[in-house]
Amino acid sequence: MIAVVKAKKGVEIKEVPYPQMNPDEVIIQVKYAGICGSDINRYLDNIFLPPGITLGHEFSGVIVEKGDNVRNLEVGDRVTASVAKTCGLCFYCQTGLSPLCDETKRLGLDYNGAFASYVAVPAKLVHILPEGMSFQVGASVEPVAVVCRAIRQVGINGGDTVLVYGPGAIGQYAMQVALASGAGKAIVVGTRDSRLELAKKLGAAHTINVKKENLREKVAEYTDGLMADVVVEASGAPDIVDDVFATVRKGGGVVFAGLPHERSNFDLQAMVRREARIFTSILNDWCDFNQALKLLDYGKVSTEGIITHEFPLEKFEDAVKAVLERKAVKALLKVS
């Protein structure tokens, strides 16, 4: 079967063996897989990945085999899956913090991922897609689940003004999940008019192009001088932390959902003086996945305008190029 496999430099698209499964796993024929920023960083060697690992963790497909111990799933089920295998026994796993488990093994990083014709996944990570949900939307559940966790971490009160940095896929989903969670209005910050226009179509009350407008002045204008109740940093840019804390109100909440790959320098004194509640968020858990499935199924979160490009698996590098050149908001690989 064909797979996108990490090489010493970049990736190889090559034939690999059909996956083996244990009694607690299922084998899924992959239909669609989404390209995440972390996949691109592994492709660019910004994140170390051992050669030989198949990339990919956002996907949907159909179960074609199941292990002898699997009782809750059937061959033919249309599914997606969570990313992280955890021990289930440690302090973190038993206190609702399973993404922080020290034994975490991540799909497409620590074991072979979904940029392949078939993938073996523990049955306990698998979620059945709602009836009528397309495989394209099913491949988007994982990034929405990431956002659900971030929004849950920071907490939103009914009527809150939420400011989102970064109108990429994660930012667009964050804005929608915030509104679905009770936010009164959302403001989205970015540098590209086309993506800011998309944010407005998906529900943003205001957008700010920081190349054309004064960020802090516009946030003050849109919040009657108070600044935002909640700020979601979804860009992963390392140089905007001071802006993040300048645009949250005193006593407000900040969650960092984007993962920078460089160190950040920021004004700690200014941060402390605002007495903001600061959260970070990584990965997702079973509850986040269930919430994401419901939000997508009920139409509270839309992928319209976010999924912009599809490529065959063999054109992985073309898909990466489309994302890097900002032609694609979210690119999917059509695998089978």
pLDDT in tens, 267-288: 888 888 899 999 999 889 989 9
Same structural domain, 122 and 183: no
Tokens of 178: 């915030």
Q: The domain spanning residue 24 has which CATH number?
A: 3.90.180.10
Say what the pLDDT of residue 314 is: 96
Same structural domain, 200 and 99: no
Phi-psi region of 292 (alpha: psi -120 to 50; beta: other; left: phi over 0): alpha
Say what the pLDDT of residue 125 is: 96
Mean pLDDT computed over every residue of the chain: 95
DSSP string computed for 10-32? SEEEEE-PPPP--TTEEEEEEEE
Asked if the model's pLDDT at residue 5 lies above 90, the reply is yes
| Helix/strand/coil for 260 | coil
Same structural domain, 30 and 154: no
Instruction: Determine how many CB atoms are found less than 10 A away from the CB of residue 321.
Output: 15
Give the model confidence (pLDDT) of 239-264 as tens digits. Answer: 889 999 999 999 999 999 987 777 88
Same structural domain, 273 and 313: no
- Confirm if 56 and 121 have CB atoms less than 8 A apart: no
Residue 143, H or E segment: helix 141-154
In a domain, 315, yes or no: yes
Same structural domain, 179 and 244: yes
Same structural domain, 271 and 313: no
What span, in angstroms and rounded, lies between the C-alpha atoms of 308 and 303? 9
Tell me which residue range forms the domain holding 262: 147-280
What span, in angstroms and rounded, lies between the C-alpha atoms of 165 and 180? 18
Say what the pLDDT of residue 179 is: 98
Q: The domain spanning residue 249 has which CATH number?
A: 3.40.50.720
Say what the pLDDT of residue 87 is: 94
Give the model confidence (pLDDT) of 148-186 as tens digits. Answer: 999 999 999 999 999 999 999 999 999 999 999 999 999
If you average pLDDT over residues 51-63, what whole number do you get?
A: 96
In a domain, 298, yes or no: no
Burial of 168: CB neighbours in 10 Å, binned 0-12, 13-18, 19+:
buried
Q: Any residues with CB less than 8 A from the CB of 287 and at least 6 apart, and which?
A: none
What span, in angstroms and rounded, lies between the C-alpha atoms of 144 and 135? 15
Domain C-terminal end among 280, 295, 314: 280
Q: How many domains does the chain have?
A: 2
Same structural domain, 58 and 170: no
Asked if the model's pLDDT at residue 204 lies above 90, the reply is yes
In a domain, 316, yes or no: yes
Same structural domain, 243 and 152: yes
Say what the pLDDT of residue 288 is: 94
pTM: 0.94
Residue 99's pLDDT band, with cuts at 50, 70 and 90, is very high
Same structural domain, 134 and 155: no
In a domain, 101, yes or no: yes
Same structural domain, 98 and 159: no
- Confirm if 326 and 108 have CB atoms less than 8 A apart: no
In a domain, 287, yes or no: no
Tokens of 328: 């694609």
Same structural domain, 179 and 211: yes
- Confirm if 78 and 135 have CB atoms less than 8 A apart: yes
In a domain, 11, yes or no: yes
What span, in angstroms and rounded, lies between the C-alpha atoms of 114 and 56? 5
